[in-house]
Amino acid sequence: MSCGDGGSGDGSSLTVYSGRTEDLIGPLLEQFSNETGIDVEVRYGDSAELALLLQTEGSSSPADVFISQSPGALGLLAGEGMLAELPDDLTGRVSEGFAGSDHTWVGITGRVRVLVYNKDLVDPADLPQTVLDLAKDAYSGRVAVAPTNGSFQDFVTAMRSELGDQVTVEWLEGLAANQSPNYPKNSAIVEAVARGEVEMGLVNHYYNLRALEADPALASVNYFFPADDVGSLVIVTGGSVLASSDSQSAGEQLLAWLLSEDVQATFVTETQEYSLLPGAGRPEGVPELSGFAADTIDYDVLGGGLTATIEIIRESGIER
């Protein structure tokens, strides 16, 4: 199999590797295919594993477009020179800061870090004003974390770039000393908080919104940190075109379509994520997208700095 996907020339077909699951993007890709006549084939998988696959495939990859759930996986591939530079009118569609500074990827949707808590167990007056407070004794044993999860790692990387390694390490060691319960992923934390197994947990905002859809009686509530706190970091999902693709323009067309107003509105209502377009609406019951992320966090640091972040997280002892 040579470069691209063996389709008959540019624009007629696209192969997409998608870290977003089929439920969350499949129908949209089908709609794109119907509207444009471009045939879209999709391989779904875990973002990190698809990034590993792309890295191993190298320039022979059949993929034209990579859609990732986390900026870290995009940063890794960008660092290896595997992503094509996108045109300015594409990266310029989203608010500033939500595209790679080297223009190799563009944000598609945003998720906000929150503290999910059990309303039967936690007095709202006890909620912290900053995520840094969670390392204090008062929160000992009460806050669940997912230290091996990509979102948590992205968050810690942001904290390092914002507050420096020393503050970050002290915060992690505080959480470790607090014996903060460990979970492998966000959804497991939300379930545990809803059951009352643990009082609070650091997660992305939409997991609890979906859990409440399935069962509105759940006791779990999202708490958004103040907008100027690093705790309210925005984590983007992003799209990129592979440098090895011979369907570059069709790939760019797909990304532009995903950033069109109609499709962005679908993300807001269907998957309850934030749109990254300037002035776009937002999911019901969530605060405005502001504060951290926009132009304060350099997402490229998130990619390149993740190896060190993982090391720092591990050495803090929080995983034990």
For another protein, the closer of residues 69 and 95 by Cβ is 69
Q: Which of residues 66-125 bind another protein (CB under 8 A)?
A: 72-73, 76
Q: How far is the CB of 48 from another protein (least distance, A)?
A: 4
Q: Compose the 288-317 pattern: x for residues touching another protein by CB under 8 A, - for all others.
A: ------------------xx-xxx--xx--
156 binds another protein (CB under 8 A): no
- Near another protein by CB under 8 A: residue from 80, 213, 228, 295: 213
- Near another protein by CB under 8 A: residue from 91, 151, 153, 180: 153
* CA dihedral (270, 190, 157, 128) positive or negative: positive
Rounded distance, CA 173 to CA 279, Å?
Answer: 39
User: Are the beta carbons of 129 and 273 closer than 8 angstroms?
Assistant: no
| Tokens at 219, concatenated | 């006791």
195 binds another protein (CB under 8 A): yes
Rounded distance, CA 93 to CA 51, Å?
Answer: 25
- Near another protein by CB under 8 A: residue from 9, 12, 34, 60: 60
Q: Of 43-51, 169-177, 222-230, 261-269, which part binds another protein (CB under 8 A)?
A: 43-51
Q: Which residue type is seen at 10?
A: D
Q: Of 159-167, 184-192, 220-228, 280-288, which part binds another protein (CB under 8 A)?
A: 184-192
> CA nearest 47: which of 117, 95, 111?
111
| Tokens at 72, concatenated | 């870290």
Q: How far is the CB of 56 from another protein (least distance, A)?
A: 5
For another protein, the closer of residues 70 and 91 by Cβ is 70
User: Are the beta carbons of 218 and 113 closer than 8 angstroms?
Assistant: no
- Near another protein by CB under 8 A: residue from 7, 62, 174, 231: 62
For another protein, the closer of residues 10 and 191 by Cβ is 191
User: Are the beta carbons of 198 and 192 closer than 8 angstroms?
Assistant: yes
User: Are the beta carbons of 65 and 251 closer than 8 angstroms?
Assistant: yes
Q: How far is the CB of 53 from another protein (least distance, A)?
A: 5
- Near another protein by CB under 8 A: residue from 36, 39, 48, 282: 48
| Tokens at 187, concatenated | 């959804």
| Tokens at 177, concatenated | 């000393």
Q: How far is the CB of 95 from another protein (least distance, A)?
A: 26
> CA nearest 234: which of 277, 204, 206?
204
> CA nearest 206: which of 237, 172, 239?
237
For another protein, the closer of residues 82 and 90 by Cβ is 82
> CA nearest 106: which of 83, 124, 128, 125?
83
User: How far is CA 12 from each of CA 3, 117, 256, rounded to the nearest angstrom?
Assistant: 15, 48, 17
Q: Which residues bind another protein (CB under 8 A)?
A: 1, 15, 21-24, 41-46, 48-53, 56-58, 60, 62, 72-73, 76, 148, 153, 181-184, 187-188, 191-192, 194-197, 207, 210-211, 213-215, 306-307, 309-311, 314-315, 319-320
